[in-house]
Amino acid sequence: MTTHLENEAVLVSEAQTGSAESFSVLVKHYERQIYRLSKAITGNLEDAEDALQETFLKAYKNLKQFQRESRFYTWLVCIAMNEALSRLRRRNSALCVSLGDPIDTEESETAPREIKDWQDNPEECYNQTELRGILFKALQNLETPLGVVFVLRDVEGLSCEETAMVTGLSVPVVKTRSMRARSKLRKKLSFWSEKRSTVAAV
* pLDDT of 142 over the 90 cut: no
Please tell me whether the overall predicted TM-score, pTM, comes out greater than 0.75 for this model. no
Q: What is the pLDDT of residues 14-59, one digit of tens each?
A: 999 999 999 999 999 999 999 989 988 888 899 999 999 999 999 9
State the DSSP string of 41-97.
HH--HHHHHHHHHHHHHHHHHTGGG--SSS-HHHHHHHHHHHHHHHHHHHH-TT---
Q: Please, what sign has the CA dihedral across residues 20, 24, 25, 30?
A: positive
- Amino acid 188: pLDDT: 75
Separation between Cα atoms, residue 77 and residue 60, nearest integer Å? 14
Separation between Cα atoms, residue 144 and residue 95, nearest integer Å? 11
The answer to whether residues 71 and 162 touch, using CB atoms and an 8 Å cutoff, is: yes
State the DSSP string of 103-165.
SSTT--SSPPPPPPP-TT-HHHHHTSHHHHHHHHHHHHTS-HHHHHHHIIIIIS---HHHHHH
* pLDDT of 126 over the 60 cut: no
**From the CB of residue 98, how many other CB atoms can be counted at a distance below 10 Å?**
10
Q: What is the pLDDT of residues 156-188, one digit of tens each?
A: 889 999 999 988 899 999 999 999 998 888 887
Average pLDDT over residues 144-157: 87
Separation between Cα atoms, residue 2 and residue 89, nearest integer Å? 27
- Amino acid 90: pLDDT: 81
Average pLDDT over residues 61-79: 90
Q: Where in the chain is the domain with CATH 1.10.10.10?
A: 122-201
**From the CB of residue 88, how many other CB atoms can be counted at a distance below 10 Å?**
19
**Architecture of the domain whose range is 122-201:** Orthogonal Bundle (1.10)
- The number of CA neighbours under 13 Å toward the Cβ of 36 is 20
Q: Does an H or E element contain 44, and which?
A: none
Average pLDDT over residues 179-200: 70
Under CATH, to which class is 8-91 assigned?
mainly alpha
Q: Where in the chain is the domain with CATH 1.10.1740.10?
A: 8-91
Q: How confident is the model at residue 102 (pLDDT cuts 50, 70, 90)?
A: low
The answer to whether residues 189 and 122 touch, using CB atoms and an 8 Å cutoff, is: yes
